């Protein structure tokens, strides 16, 4: 594991349906091929996360780190990655990945993938200080380049509140 990747970080964790939202230390690992690891700058929590909490998205997804509206800075990339690099500002949404092989994907309907990955539901989301996002070389990639979506003053204010 790279020395730049911490061994753990704080995250909001839902242990089971209806359990309290708790902040815990969770392990951080090196990103695999097809993933980037980001340091989370901001993550939205929306009604879908309350559906998760209430069990409307199933009870086999727990424990889970919620959050699927995440923006952060890439701190590590998986093997073979050429598009994303350390320091890029990226964002990820609900759609966390697709296989590119099923009937829906072959029709360009990546959101309908039979093997879809959902950030904050079928994989941990962005309500933590570190988060994995998946990327694919095909159209409909679930990571977008955020460019510089914040200004230096906003970031200095954020740092001073920690």
Residue among 51, 62, 64, 60 nearest 126 (CA) = 64
**Is 106 within a domain?**
yes
Q: How crowded is residue 142: how many other Cβ atoms within 10 Å of its Cβ?
A: 22
Residue 125 domain-assigned (yes or no)? yes
**Which pLDDT tens digits describe the chain residue by residue (162 residues)?**
445 788 999 999 999 999 999 999 999 989 988 888 999 988 888 889 999 999 999 888 999 999 988 889 999 999 988 888 999 999 888 888 888 899 999 999 988 999 988 889 988 988 877 767 765 544 445 566 666 544 444 445 454 444
Note whether residue 3 is domain-resident: no
**Total length of the chain:** 162
Q: Strand pairing partners for 134?
A: 35
Domain presence at residue 149: yes
Q: Which domain holds residue 46?
A: 8-161
Find out whether 74 and 36 touch, Cβ atoms under 8 Å: yes
Q: What CATH number is attached to the domain comprising 132?
A: 3.90.180.10
**pLDDT on residue 69:** 87
The answer to whether position 1 is within a domain reads no
Say how many domains are in the chain.
1
pTM for the full predicted model: 0.78
Residue 131 within a domain: yes
pLDDT of residue 137: 45
In terms of phi and psi (left: phi > 0; alpha: psi -120 to 50; beta: otherwise), the region of 97 is left
Instruction: Classify residue 148: in a domain, yes or no.
Output: yes
Q: Is residue 39 part of a domain?
A: yes
3-class SS of residue 86: coil
């Amino acid at each position: 594991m790279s020395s730049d990747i911490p061994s753990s970080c704080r995250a909001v964790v839902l242990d089971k349906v209806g359990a309290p939202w708790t902040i815990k230390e969770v392990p951080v690992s090196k990103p695999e091929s097809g993933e980037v690891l980001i340091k989370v700058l901001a993550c939205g929590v929306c009604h879908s996360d309350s559906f998760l909490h209430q069990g409307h998205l199933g009870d086999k997804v727990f424990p889970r780190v919620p959050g699927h509206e995440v923006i952060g800075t890439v701190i590590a990339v998986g093997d073979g990655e050429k598009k994303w690099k350390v320091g890029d500002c990226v964002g990820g949404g609900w759609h966390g990945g697709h296989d590119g092989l099923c009937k829906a994907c072959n029709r360009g309907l990546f959101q309908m993938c039979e093997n879809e990955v959902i950030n904050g539901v079928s994989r941990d989301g962005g309500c933590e200080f570190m988060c994995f996002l998946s990327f694919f070389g095909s159209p409909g990639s679930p990571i977008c380049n955020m460019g510089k979506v914040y200004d230096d003053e906003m970031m200095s204010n954020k740092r001073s509140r920690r």
